[in-house]
Structure 1
Amino acid sequence: MRAIVIHAPHDLRLESMPAATPGPRDVVVQMGAGGICGSDLHYFHQGGFGVVRLREPMVLGHEVAGTVKAVGTEVTAVKVGDKVAVNPSGPCGECEYCRRGLRNQCLDMRFFGSAMRFPHVQGAFREEMTVPEAQAVKVADDVDLTLAALCEPFAVALHAVAQAGDLTGKTVLISGCGPIGCLVIAAAKLAGAETIIATDIAPETLAIAARLGATRCVDVSGGTEALADLAQDKGRVDVTLECSGNGRALTSAIELTRPRGTIVLIGLGGELPLPMNAIVAKELNIAGSFRFDEEFARAAELVSTRQVDLSPLLSGSFPIEEADAAFALASDRRRAMKVHFRFSEAV
């Protein structure tokens, strides 16, 4: 069995990686599809992000889905032949935050395809992988595995929208319409937002945002003048979900969000200055959003029951032998939103 292993920036290799022998509560998954994430792109182009750096070869990937090939003797949640979305999060279940129900804040998290710890946690871009039963979440038999592989980023979006509170009937601004931003649009629509305003600097991504539920799309590549109506009377937006990590986008969000409105920060942009006077005077609620927990099962349910159509995000699918070509396409925001690998033809 083969895996996509990164050794250094722009150094991807296909290497033999047999699945581990399953224990009694483990599941062997034959992978069908895997999506390239922003973190994968950082490893590919820069060898990491922030202080996180590759220190040894690592299998990439954490947005995957496949078919159960074998199960341990005590597995009851899935059976051989089931389609599953694989949850890449492995919280310890024992630390302070896990005990408090904040498992996404686990102090000993093992997240597939992550160089945050050493030895690195190997990823899921491989033909077969053994995972704990709890991380193999069943999806409907007729679900395309490429869509099932979107459960992980969609869970991120569902968690972010939950941080914003009730969106029913509200005016919501999504700033930055990359894959996560577009998935946040889909999640906000499901949550009952009445008006969804999407902003980005690329018209191609805004076109996809409209297909996923944005009611107004604004190209801010030349400035934010087109949003002037939203700044009237201290702001007209009830909730802003900031997905770009851009400092100017955050400043704009603070201007457009109404007094006592909510801003949820999802995009990672490093250290940013904040207009504290405006935050204090408008009594804004600012929350962060990091990964997900129970939202993964919810994402699998929504995809399985077709309550949400995430297919507009799909930009291309490549065999693992063409990993460099897949990463090249995924790196081009004007041509691609979400690029997948095919690990088998049964997707």
Structure 2
Amino acid sequence: MKNKTIGVFYDGNSSVPQPIELSFDKGTSMFHFELANNTANSWKLESVSFEKKGMALNLQHGEETVQSIMVKDSDFIRDLTVFRKNNGQLDWYHKLLNLGLTSHAFFAFLIMLFIGLSYVYAIPWVAEKSVVLIPEDYDDKLGSNFFQENMFFSSVDSVKTAALNAFAKELKLKNNKPIKFTVVDSDIVNAFALPDGNIVVYQGILDEMKSYEELVALIGHEVSHVNNRHSMKAICRSLSGYLFISAILGDANGIMATIGDNVNSLQSLSFSREFEHQADLDGFEILVSNGVNPQGMSDLFKRLQQDNTISIPEFLSSHPLTEERISYIDKMIKTRSFEAKTNDKLKGIFEKLKK
């Protein structure tokens, strides 16, 4: 081991450098050097902190007055580093600093990969779970504000709205908040649920239906989105980066301000496969528990998926109907036991909605 080298000493009181000869005694783990005034100095290895600056190594000693020695001898630095490592005096940070460029690039790649995967997968998941930090009162405020602003420009069919609400009252929807339906006189093939319990149904999607069972399926599906706060969770996922930081910092006001700025996306939210699957299952259970043939759900979804010769229906853009989902529903119909019977009252109200 090379135990002597030339260094530059700084006394901590002035910026004047002093050339010195620095030696290291590995037997006693002591640094020794002598100043120009013949003053001998000794530093214990344990009392010295090390800082790598480019190709140089800076040795610092002292508490109130910090003295330092700058060494540029690569052989001395290498041998000293090996000695510290062999004696367990090199922490992980300095071990990392002493790795080569290739290792640094590899660790940088791993860090970037971790950040990327966290941003794509972990942060959206955490953001979705952070919905529990948001009081449900905010769901009502956001949904109500959106409904009032957008229905002002829509042509609401009050007669069919009353009929659709009467239709829903005949069903056990397992809703955890009041549900209100509104029928908009438009040929748009769409329906969407707002977080406050308002569910908007366009005449266009009613016109596509051939049976009241299909309408029950649609209602059950949309009510599930309300019950499970899917709109709020979807917003949190789409704003996950900011919301994640806000949730960690406990900035509830920041969360709500950001969600408020994005309230206009409530109508066109595209729910995740997980949310749609949950809504399908809940909707299926609503059909079965009300004695309505669940074939209505499969029929509705197949009809909407096929009826896109001119343009993709609005419902498909926000509720993508995959073959996998439809196949799963058909499988449940075949394997699940249920008792379905014709409901003349629902059938009668449905016919009024079709006129």
Range of TM-score over shorter length: under 0.3
TM-score (norm 2): 0.22
Say which one has the larger Rg: 2
With CA pairs under 8 Å and 6+ residues apart, which has the higher RCO, 1 or 2? 1
Higher strand share: 1
